Amino acid sequence: MQQDTNPSSVDTEAAASGAASATATERSAFQRFLTVTVGPIVAAFLLSAIILMLVGVNPLTYYGYILDRSLFSSLGLEQTATRMAPLLFLVASLIIAFRAGIWNLGTDGQFLLGAVIAAATAPLLVGVLPGWAVLLVGFLLAALVGAIWSIIPALLKAYQGVNEIITTLMMSFLGVLLASTLVKLAFRDPTTTVPQTRTLPVADRLPRLFETSISSGLVWGLIAVILVHLMMTRTSFGLRLRMVGANPAAATHAGLSVPLLTMATFGLSAGFAGLAGASEILGVAGNVRANWNPAYGLMVIPLVFLARFHGVGAIVLVFFYSALMIGSESAARRLGVPQNFTLVLVASLLICLGLGEYIDQHKRKKER
């Protein structure tokens, strides 16, 4: 005897099964978000709070000063927004490299050389070229110098297979020393006793936003990150770069020129690092002093990883990190905490981030 099947009941069961599956997927994604993103951030702040208590500082007071001086005051908020500009260009630089499977750890050297060349040329062009042309030339030269400084690691990686972690770090150290040497010798301002480049007048720097002290470099940094994110995720060129990073053998089999794409990745990444240096000088500082090295490049690396190489997520993290940097400087003066304690917090974040990734991978293996 044939059993009748009610189509409506089958559809209901299928819908219920699909809804349950979707709910499970959403729950799994939310749990992973807690494990690899929210968890490490909370744990890092708790670990840093313990360290503060051990040295006799109230962590609530310390974090309270950070929030008050960086987000809840107009001056602090403007300083936070201005600090974001060079960090955003560095985010764009690292997103290109990391998504393409390239470990460009030489951004600090590229940053400083870009800053020095912009600081050395822009003041000389004032009065010779229109204001916008002075800034444009400064940015272009900074990007070019940053890209040139990556040629040696790029060639060694593309044609000899040399590990770029070592070569980019070595070139970064050389770049930092060369930048300081250029400031002391070739590009030194002869009218000052302190070794520094000539100073670009405030009126000739990047314009401010809405009658505030916020440099318009912030806008260009945001545009750079968004364009890079779209390039790496929505264009065929970005797909080629990501394919080379994911599987060079498959990329070669598909007819792609792996060495040329590797060179292009280095050039673009280092060029944006040079732009970061130019944005800091042409927008805020106006000159470069000898031995100046804010080490922004290494600071931004954990933010890019924490954002999972996503442009919008990196922008949000850069904002909070800039607030942390500005606020911690004020807290250090008020509470007697070393300004480098921000690096302790970043180190704690890296440790907790690594533990979160390990826990997530361990859970995934168990589920399989």
Q: If 0-12 CB within 10 Å is exposed, 13-18 middle and 19+ buried, where does residue 140 land?
A: middle
Single-letter amino acid code for the residue at 247: N
Q: Report how far residue 73's alpha carbon sits from residue 60's, in angstroms, rounded to the nearest whole number.
A: 18
Is 183's pLDDT higher than 70? yes
Give pLDDT, residue 318: 93
Give pLDDT, residue 336: 81
pLDDT band at 92 (very low <50, low <70, confident <90, very high): very high
What secondary structure letter does DSSP report for 307? T
- Whether residue 261 contacts residue 130, with contact meaning beta carbons closer than 8 Å, is answered with no
The token pair at 255 is 């007819």
Q: Give the structural domain span for 219.
A: 86-322
Does any domain span residue 358? Answer: no
Does any domain span residue 329? Answer: no
Does any domain span residue 33? Answer: no
The lowest-confidence range among 89-103, 236-250, 257-271, 278-292 is 236-250
Does any domain span residue 178? Answer: yes
225 to each of 9, 99, 175, 315, 318, how far by Cα in Å? 50, 13, 24, 8, 11
Does any domain span residue 41? Answer: no
pLDDT band at 124 (very low <50, low <70, confident <90, very high): very high
Is 17's pLDDT higher than 70? no
Does any domain span residue 131? Answer: yes
Does any domain span residue 137? Answer: yes
pLDDT band at 11 (very low <50, low <70, confident <90, very high): low
Tracing tokens 């106006």 back to the chain, one arrives at 286
Q: Report how far residue 324's alpha carbon sits from residue 345's, in angstroms, rounded to the nearest whole number.
A: 10
Task: Give the angle subtended at the CA of 324 by the CAs of 321 and 328, to the nearest 5°.
Answer: 150
Q: What is the pLDDT of residues 206-252, one digit of tens each?
A: 999 988 889 999 999 999 999 999 999 999 999 999 998 888 888 88
Does any domain span residue 34? Answer: no
Instruction: Specify the number of domains making up the chain.
Output: 1
Give pLDDT, residue 353: 77
Is 257's pLDDT higher than 80? yes
Q: Report how far residue 273's alpha carbon sits from residue 295's, in angstroms, rounded to the nearest whole number.
A: 12
Closest CA to 233 of 341, 116, 114, 313: 313
Q: What is the pLDDT of residues 143-172, one digit of tens each?
A: 999 999 999 999 999 999 999 999 999 999
Residues 6 or more apart whose CB falls under 8 angstroms from that of 110 comprise: 93, 145, 146, 149, 150, 172, 175, 270, 273, 274, 277, 297
The token pair at 156 is 């060694």
The structure's pTM equals 0.86
pLDDT band at 123 (very low <50, low <70, confident <90, very high): very high
Specify the 3-state DSSP secondary structure of 289.
strand
